[in-house]
A and B are shown apart, each in its own frame.
Chain A
Amino acid sequence: MKKGILALIIMLAAAVISHFSVVTLTPDWIMSRVFAGYEQTTGVLNQPVHAPRPDATSRKVVRPSPDLVYTMCAYDLTKGPLVLTGPSEDFYVSVSAFSDRTDNFFVMNDTELVPKVDGSRKFFVILIAPEAKQPEVADAHMVQSPTTRGVVLFRTLIESEDKLAAALEIQSQQNCATWSG
Chain B
Amino acid sequence: VKPWFTYLLAIILGLVIGTITVPQIAGFVVAKQTIENGPWQTFDKIGATDADMYVRFVISVRGLFGLAKKETIYFNAETDSDGLSLTSNCTYNLTGGPMATRWWSITAYGPDHYLIPNPEKSYAISENNLDIDDAGRFTVMLSRQQSGGNWLATGAPNDGEQAFALTLRLYNPTAEIYSNMTGVDLPQIKREHCA
Contacts and interface: CB of A to CB of B under 8 A. Distances in A.
A and B from one assembly?
yes
A54 B10 CA distance: 46
Interface residues of B, number: 60
Interface string A105-117: 1010101000000
B60 A6 contact: no
Nearest to B122: A66
Given A104-B48, A157-B171, A7 B10 contact: yes
A102 B64 contact: yes
Interface in B153-172: 167, 169, 171-172
A12 B80 CA distance: 39
Given A10-B10, A14-B14, A56-B123, A30 B103 contact: no
Contacts of A15: 14-15, 17-18, 21
Contacts of A101: 56
A107 B169 contact: no
Contacts of A21: 18
Given A67-B105, A67-B126, A103-B49, A11 B57 contact: no
A6 B7 contact: yes
B19 A19 contact: yes
B10 A8 contact: yes
Contacts of A99: 49
Contacts of B59: 27, 102
A26 interface: yes
B124 A66 contact: yes
B62 interface: yes
- 10 A-B pairs with the lowest CB-CB distances in the bound complex, closest first: A14-B14, A104-B47, A18-B18, A15-B18, A19-B18, A27-B60, A56-B117, A11-B14, A11-B10, A62-B113
Interface of A: 3, 6-8, 10-24, 26-27, 30-31, 34, 54-59, 61-67, 92, 94, 96, 98-99, 101-105, 107, 109, 111, 146, 151, 153, 157, 159-161
18 contacts: A3-B6, A10-B7, A14-B10, A18-B17, A22-B18, A23-B54, A26-B60, A55-B115, A55-B121, A56-B117, A61-B64, A66-B115, A66-B124, A67-B169, A102-B47, A104-B48, A107-B71, A146-B49
Given A3-B6, A18-B16, A56-B115, 6 more contacts: A6-B7, A15-B18, A63-B63, A96-B65, A103-B48, A160-B128
